[in-house]
Amino acid sequence: MSATRITFVVFVGLSLVAALVLSVAPLPDFMQTARPLWLALMLSYWVFELPYNFKISLAWVFGLAQDVLYGTYFGFHALFLAFVVYAVLSFQQRLKMFPQWQQAIFLMLIYSIGQIFLLWLNALAGNHTLVSQYILPALVSGLLWPWVYMIMRLLRKLVQL
C-alpha cells in the first residue's frame, strides 16, 4: 500500500471519528434538539467526493458505533446511515452538477426521510418523542452542508489527497 493511500485511509478514518465525537460532544440545553447529524454529514461528504472508494458497510459500522455511544437500540442509526449513504450514492453524479444550495436541500430531504424512519422505529419500540426532535437536526444539517463541504475540501487540499 502506498503512502498516499495510507494517508487517505487515516484521513477518512480520523474525519469519521471526529464526526462521532462531535455527535456526543456536550451542547447547551437549548441546542440539544438542533444537534447536527455530524456523522451523516461526514459520510455524505465522502460518498459525494469518492463514491467508488466508499461502502455502505462502513456506514453500517459507524452507525452501530453511534448506537453504542447514544445508548439507543442496536441498529437504528446504522439503518439511518446506510439509507443516507445509499441515497447519496444513487444520486451522486446528478448532484455534482447542482449548486451547493440545491445539494443542501436534497440532503435535508434525505436526512428528514431517514429521521422520520428513526422516529417510526422509536415509536414501534415504545419511545414516544416529538417530531421536531427528529426533523430539526435534519434541517440544521442541511444548512451546514455547504460549510462542511468547503472545510473538508480545504482540509483535503492541505493534506494533498
Backbone angles phi, psi at 95, to 5 degrees: -65, -30
Per residue in 62-90, pLDDT (tens digit) is 999 999 999 888 999 999 999 999 999 99
The C-alpha cell at 127 is 419511545
Contact 143, 104 (CB under 8 A): yes
Per residue in 90-133, pLDDT (tens digit) is 999 998 899 999 999 999 999 999 999 999 998 998 888 888 88
pTM to 2 decimal places: 0.92
Spatial CA neighbour of 154 closest among 80, 49, 2, 27: 49
